[in-house]
Amino acid sequence: MRDHFELRDGDLAGRIGRLSVPRAGVTVETPALLPVVNPNIDTISPARLESEFGADILITNSYIIKTNEHLREEALDVGLHEMLDFHGAIMTDSGSFQLAEYGEIDTTTEEILQFQRDIGTDIATPVDIPTPPDVAREQAETDLEITKRALADAEAADTGEMLVNAPVQGSTYPDLREEAGRHADATDLDVFPVGAVVPMMNAYRYDDMVDAVAAAKRGLGVDAPVHLFGAGHPMMLALAVALGCDLFDSAAYALYARDGRYLTVRGTEHLEDLDYLPCTCPICTEYSPDDLRAKGSKRQEQLLAEHNLHVTFAELRRIKQAIRDGDLMELVEERARSHPAMLDGYRALLDHVDQLEREDPASKGAFFYASNESAHRPEVARHHDRMDRLTAEGHVLLTEGGTPSGDDFDATWRVVPPFGPFPRALSETYPLTAEVPERLDRDAYEQAARGVSRLVEENPDAAFTLAHDDWPESALARVPESVELESLSAVSERLADEASAESDDVRVEGDDGSASTEE
């Protein structure tokens, strides 16, 4: 176990943790945002990030500082914390971003780690190779070998109490991402950034981002603190946390503000298009869109940056509460409706349901079925997997309710889409207490049918009758042929007809020839 990272609470693969940063003498609660501070541009001062926004960790670029004579001398003279006027933890990048952008940098891992230690960095970064998406596999493999050598150089360096990042690369090749995660996890390094995902997010390829992170997580240990490099838009934070990411760095708050863009949890708006500010942060309660547009460009940029930070920090607090409440998936699903690309990301997340299920708590407060994607949540997969623990004997009725055609059964089990069958004794256990709408979609019934199939498979000597409430043909086709099917609505109609016929039989003619009912 890594003694500098403690897991406190969890939901899905998301978790609330405590990252101890010994050189800074602080402990950072995760999930945490690291605002990016450009040492050449003072949009919002680090002191204000700490005092007004509650930031207890930030990130800046040691390569920019190293290559700027004035900044280098000041950082070496007074130290990074005094230079930035920040008392929390400071992570520094190594120049890898510049390497990805411009193709070369004039430093090595040994040199930049020593410089980061000399200026008082708390969490340092080696010179890895951020391989962009969709490159040839040969290039991705070559770049990954260079990154592995950088991690070896970082392990060999004298870093004292300074924590060191072990970036996980591999482009858009899941097997390389997993291999990179496993290699990084085997080092004695401390924090594990998943790198080179910014191009995916800039292109709204959230599904590819999910696949890359999920692959990296398969290689990393559960106790590895994971940093999603370059991710900080509030719209995608819940999705990334659900995948198991703990740290996020964002320059978006400042870069978007410079371009007149206003962040929300549903996407990005342009200030020029807004008639109202849909937010209750201090900026949005004090100013109107016209007020902001009337400010000079510098002041407008600063105010927009402040809003962008407020909404991002607020989303992280909302995510932490969702983890505590056990309804992170509901929040992810809500955010997924903000953009078609986010919905792709959510569906990609559900493609990794078996991986999520291994870390998802077995019991929570409530399960809300809100869309067809809900039928593919980890709780449903877990229920199907646990069919091997349920024993059915004799002739078993599986019923959604209502009245079956007969009562010649040895046992009666409930059937609730999307979970499928379970003994009545489990009716009050999570997630079988799910809140399910009356008008269910096809996915819910098909998943319930999979549950029936799994139960039959695990109990070959039992006989089953499924009393269903007009399931679609696509679901009934998934039920094994050995299961007798009975439509509850058809039974109800037949019983109603029989009751009506019996009523007619007891009617007799009166003496006067009129009809009367025999008492």
Active-site residue, 461 included:
no
Task: Pick out the residues of the known binding site for substrate.
Answer: 128, 196
Distance of CA 510 to the CA centre of its chain: 75
d(CA 519, CA 344): 66
pLDDT of residue 497: 44
Domain spans in the chain, listed from the N-terminal domain onward: 5-357, 368-501
Residues in the chain: 519
Tell me the average confidence (pLDDT) per consecutive run of 10 residues in the chain, 519 residues long: 88 96 97 93 92 96 92 96 96 78 75 96 94 95 95 96 96 97 97 94 95 97 94 94 95 94 95 95 96 94 97 97 94 94 96 91 84 93 92 92 73 93 91 91 96 95 92 95 86 47 50 44
What Å distances lie between residue 117 and 80, 122, 227, CA to CA?
10, 8, 20
d(CA 262, CA 271): 6
Contact 200, 212 (CB under 8 A): yes
Q: In what order do the strands lie in the sheet with 14-21?
A: 5-11, 14-21, 26-30
CB atoms within 10 A of CB 388: 12
In three-state form (DSSP H/G/I as H, E/B as E, the rest C), the secondary structure along 417-449 is: CCCEEEEHHHCCCCCCCCECCCCCCHHHHHHHH
What Å distances lie between residue 100 and 61, 158, 195, CA to CA?
14, 26, 11
CATH code for 5-357?
3.20.20.105
Residue carrying the six token digits 């986010």: 342
pLDDT of residue 408: 81
> Could you tell me the two tokens for 167?
């970036």
HSE of 390 in the Cβ direction (CA atoms, 13 Å)? 24
Q: Which of 266, 228, 230, 265 is nearest to 244 (CA)?
A: 228
Identify any residues that bridge with 509 across adjacent strands, giving them in sequence order. Answer: 515
d(CA 86, CA 90): 8
User: Which residues 6+ apart lie within 8 Å of 63 measured at CB?
Assistant: 93, 94, 95, 98, 105, 107, 112
User: Between vectors from CA 136 to CA 134 and to CA 140, what angle results, nearest 5°?
Assistant: 85
Task: Pick out the residues of the known binding site.
Answer: 128, 196, 279, 281, 284
Contact 49, 10 (CB under 8 A): no
CB atoms within 10 A of CB 38: 13
Instruction: Write the DSSP assignment of 386-421 as a string of letters.
Output: GGGG----SEEEEESSS--S----SEEEEEETTTEE
HSE of 175 in the Cβ direction (CA atoms, 13 Å)? 2
HSE of 36 in the Cβ direction (CA atoms, 13 Å)? 23
Strand segments (E) across 178-323 = 192-194, 226-228, 247-250, 261-264, 267-270
Contact 117, 84 (CB under 8 A): no
What are the backbone angles phi and psi of residue 212, rounded to the nearest 5°?
Answer: -65, -45
Number of H helices, E strands in the chain: 22, 20
Task: Pick out the residues of the known binding site for Zn(2+).
Answer: 279, 281, 284
Whether cis (ω within 30° of 0) applies to the bond prior to 132 is: no
Run of H or E residues at 463: strand 463-468
Which of 56, 93, 327, 360 does the annotation list as catalytic?
A: 93
What Å distances lie between residue 183 and 128, 142, 159, 458, CA to CA?
14, 15, 20, 39
pLDDT of residue 103: 63
Residue carrying the six token digits 């039959």: 456
d(CA 383, CA 351): 17
d(CA 392, CA 423): 9
d(CA 150, CA 110): 9
SS3 144: helix
